[in-house]
């Protein structure tokens, strides 16, 4: 059946998001309809509203949500009505060499569902009946969403929706970058540039992995206080554009073993690379503007054997990593309660974006 839902939409770049009543159509083959319980507001959603991430408008935002399955389409065997699920924003064809190798974040077909469902169409319409695009096959900043089964992972229904939602991006991106991409080893030193929803999860991932030294860097003092709560052993307040590599080299006698860039800035990626010790690893997690670039001193590559790499969605396999993250939460190792600074109603979505932009929240979550 078709359902009415309120949704947060970007209609025009660099304008506040708008909340509209939309129609969400029934699931087709391989799809299900989900009633959302909560959706986190990620910097990538903000990036879609200002053109950093070029996405076709009008766009229903949201890619970090938890909900309950209310209707299933033809041929769906892996989910049933009543199942609790978390959204996953990567498209997995299941057939290409990367999917076959267990690296679905690199799926060769991911271009198929950037702002639509995998079949290239959407189940969402506005009041005039015009189609509405959806963020990364999700568009879950809405009361209902019809999605492909491969963009959903079944989870333990005992986990509250608002906390479970965070696993759909911030937690898996941050902790996954530490566990899966970098494979941080116990006793090592880690620097984290940017302590927002993603960076705080890199910090707690590093803590869980047993890093000996975790140095948090941010321009915002309030974020550094949060970083301490998540496991940072040292904090450094930086000015935008400042080169913090010398400070890091001094603090760690030669540079940290790992550095994570969690802001989305080419210059900062270069600083992260510059800061790491010989043989170290710098991981870019932040998503920079399309025209941005990063320069490294070429000679350091052979003489210092340093690595600069990236991490997309924590190099995760959603069906393995989401339950793993929630297991860490249940075991008391992963902090999710502390990540939510403020909860908003869907009507307050414009405020939630403004608060993200001004750096007020670890994570803001819209609850339905």
Ligand X SMILES: NC(=O)c1ccc[n+]([C@@H]2O[C@H](COP(=O)([O-])OP(=O)(O)OC[C@H]3O[C@@H](n4cnc5c(N)ncnc54)[C@H](O)[C@@H]3O)[C@@H](O)[C@H]2O)c1
Binding site for Zn ion (CB under 5 A): 42, 44, 93, 96, 99, 107, 169
C-alpha–C-alpha distance, residues 238 and 95, integer Å: 45
**From the CA atom positions of the chain, what is the Rg in Å?**
20
The number of beta carbons lying within 10 Å of the beta carbon of residue 294 is 18
Q: Which does 96 bind (CB under 5 to 8 A by kind): Zn ion, ligand X, none?
A: Zn ion
* Closest CB to ligand X: residue number: 196
Within 8 A by CB and 6+ apart from 259, the residues are 190, 191, 192, 193, 248, 272, 273, 275, 276, 280, 281, 282, 283
Nearest to 34 by CA among 67, 3, 61, 72: 67
Q: How far is the CB of 164 from ligand X (least distance, A)?
A: 17
Q: How far is the CB of 300 from Zn ion (least distance, A)?
A: 31
Q: Which does 107 bind (CB under 5 to 8 A by kind): Zn ion, ligand X, none?
A: Zn ion
Residue with token string 């083959």: 29
Three-state SS at 107: coil
- Contact mark string toward ligand X, 155..174, x via CB under 6 A: --------------x---x-
Q: How far is the CB of 122 from Zn ion (least distance, A)?
A: 20
Q: How far is the CB of 287 from ligand X (least distance, A)?
A: 4
**In terms of CB distance, is 140 or 276 closer to Zn ion?**
140
**In terms of CB distance, is 248 or 262 closer to ligand X?**
262
C-alpha–C-alpha distance, residues 169 and 99, integer Å: 19
Q: How far is the CB of 199 from ligand X (least distance, A)?
A: 6
Torsion angle, CA of 314/318/324/329, rounded to 10 degrees?
80
Contact call for residue 23 and ligand X (CB under 6 A): no
Assess contact for 122 and 108: CB atoms under 8 A: no
Strands 340-344 and 363-367: parallel
**In terms of CB distance, is 159 or 268 closer to ligand X?**
268
Encode burial over 141-173: b for 16+ CB neighbours within 10 A, e otherwise. Answer: bbbbbbbbbbbbbbbeeebebbbbbbbbbbbbb
Q: Which does 223 bind (CB under 5 to 8 A by kind): ligand X, Zn ion, none?
A: ligand X
Contact call for residue 195 and ligand X (CB under 6 A): yes
Contact call for residue 340 and ligand X (CB under 6 A): no
Q: How far is the CB of 44 from ligand X (least distance, A)?
A: 4
Q: Which does 99 bind (CB under 5 to 8 A by kind): ligand X, Zn ion, none?
A: Zn ion
Q: How far is the CB of 50 from ligand X (least distance, A)?
A: 11
**In terms of CB distance, is 146 or 201 closer to ligand X?**
201
Given 220, 229, 307, 351, the residue binding ligand X (CB under 6 A): 220
C-alpha–C-alpha distance, residues 278 and 257, integer Å: 8
Q: How far is the CB of 89 from Zn ion (least distance, A)?
A: 7
Encode burial over 255-267: b for 16+ CB neighbours within 10 A, e otherwise. Answer: bbbbbbbbbbbbb
**In terms of CB distance, is 149 or 227 closer to ligand X?**
227
Given 60, 190, 287, 336, the residue binding ligand X (CB under 6 A): 287
Q: Point out which residues bind ligand X (CB under 6 A).
A: 42-44, 47, 169, 173, 193-199, 217-220, 223, 238, 240, 262-265, 268, 285-287, 311-313, 356, 359
């Amino acid at each position: 059946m078709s359902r009415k839902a309120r949704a947060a939409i970007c209609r025009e770049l660099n304008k506040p998001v708008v909340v509209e009543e939309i129609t969400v159509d029934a699931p087709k083959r391989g799809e299900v309809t989900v009633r959302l319980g909560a959706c986190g507001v990620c910097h990538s959603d903000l990036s879609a509203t200002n053109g950093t991430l070029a996405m076709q408008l009008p766009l229903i935002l949201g890619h970090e949500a938890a909900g309950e399955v209310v209707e299933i389409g033809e041929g769906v065997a892996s989910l049933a009505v009543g199942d609790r699920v978390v959204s996953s924003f990567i498209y997995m064809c299941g057939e290409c060499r990367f999917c076959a190798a267990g690296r679905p974040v690199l799926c060769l077909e991911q271009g198929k569902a950037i702002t639509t469902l995998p079949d290239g169409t959407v189940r969402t319409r506005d009041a005039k009946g015009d189609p509405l695009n959806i963020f990364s096959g999700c568009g879950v900043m809405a009361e209902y969403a019809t999605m492909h089964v491969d963009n959903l992972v079944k989870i333990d229904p005992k986990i509250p929706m608002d906390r479970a939602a965070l696993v759909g991006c911030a937690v898996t991106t941050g902790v996954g970058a530490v566990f899966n991409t970098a494979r941080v080893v116990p006793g090592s030193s880690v620097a984290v540039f940017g302590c927002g929803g993603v960076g705080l999860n890199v910090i707690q991932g590093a803590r869980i992995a047993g890093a000996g030294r975790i140095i948090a860097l941010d321009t915002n003092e309030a974020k550094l206080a949060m970083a301490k709560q998540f496991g940072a052993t040292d904090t450094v307040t930086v000015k935008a554009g400042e080169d913090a590599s010398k400070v890091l080299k001094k603090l760690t006698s030669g540079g940290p073993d790992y550095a994570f860039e969690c802001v989305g800035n080419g210059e900062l990626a270069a600083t992260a690379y510059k800061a790491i010790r010989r043989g170290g690893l710098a991981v870019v997690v932040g998503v920079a503007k399309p025209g941005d670039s990063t320069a490294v001193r070429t000679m350091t590559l052979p003489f210092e054997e340093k690595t600069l790499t990236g991490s997309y969605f924590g190099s995760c396999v959603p069906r393995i990593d989401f339950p793993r993250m929630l297991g860490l939460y249940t075991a008391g190792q992963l902090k999710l309660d502390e990540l939510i600074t403020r909860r908003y109603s869907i009507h307050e979505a414009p405020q939630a974006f403004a608060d993200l932009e001004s750096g007020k929240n670890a994570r803001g979550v819209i609850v339905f």
